[in-house]
Amino acid sequence: MTIENFPNHELDVAELAMALEQMTRFMIRLPSVDKMSFTSLSVLHTLTLKSPLRLTELAATEQVTQSAITQLVTRLERDGLAERRADPKDGRVVQVHITPEGAKVIESRRDERIAGLGRYVDGLSLEQQQSIAAAIPALQRLAELGNGKQP
């Protein structure tokens, strides 16, 4: 499979994918590395988008086993970043809630990324900045589509 197999867009998808790959590679290194695992950060991030979630729902989105999520949430709970609560409707279910402290972890990492990104945006020309600014709504929409949000 090569670039030539994806010609049917106004947009060169392979180029977009490569550009985003390079952006990700760059941005992933911006936040100071605390010693949280990739999966723990991803779970916290998921919970900032939607909290509470069941353990099973987390296991599905994070692509790890239910056992891993049970253990992971136990660690998050121990560290005060999330809480287990019972579901009044269904006694089997554990609802995982993010705590303010847990949300702060994600927020501060985001702020670090924003600050780091800003330093490099300064190196772009006005026209370059404007072209990116003009694309943001479409990128947001694309991410919505990819993340399974309804239109």
Partner DNA sequence: CAATTTATATAAGTTACTGATATAATTGGC
Partner DNA sequence: GCCAATTATATCAGTAACTTATATAAATTG
> Which residues touch 37 (CB under 8 Å, ≥6 apart)?
72
Q: Which of 90, 101, 107, 144 binds DNA (CB under 7 A)?
A: 90
φ, ψ of residue 104 in degrees (nearest 5): -65, -35
- Alpha carbons 71 and 58: distance in angstroms, whole number: 12
- Note whether 91 binds DNA by CB under 7 A: yes
Structure tokens at 92: 């089997």
Query: Could you say which of 25, 32, 38, 148 contacts DNA (CB under 7 A)?
Result: 38
51 near DNA, rule: CB under 7 A: no
Nearest-5° Cα angle at 127, 122 to 129: 40
Q: Is residue 72 a contact residue for DNA (CB under 7 A)?
A: yes
Nearer to a copy of itself, 84 or 110 (CB): 110
86 interacts with, out of DNA, a copy of itself, none, CB within 5 to 8 A per kind: none
Count the neighbouring beta carbons within 10 Å of the beta carbon of residue 24: 10
Chain positions contacting a copy of itself, by CB under 8 A: 1-3, 6, 9-29, 33, 38, 45, 63, 108, 110-111, 113-118, 120-124, 126-147
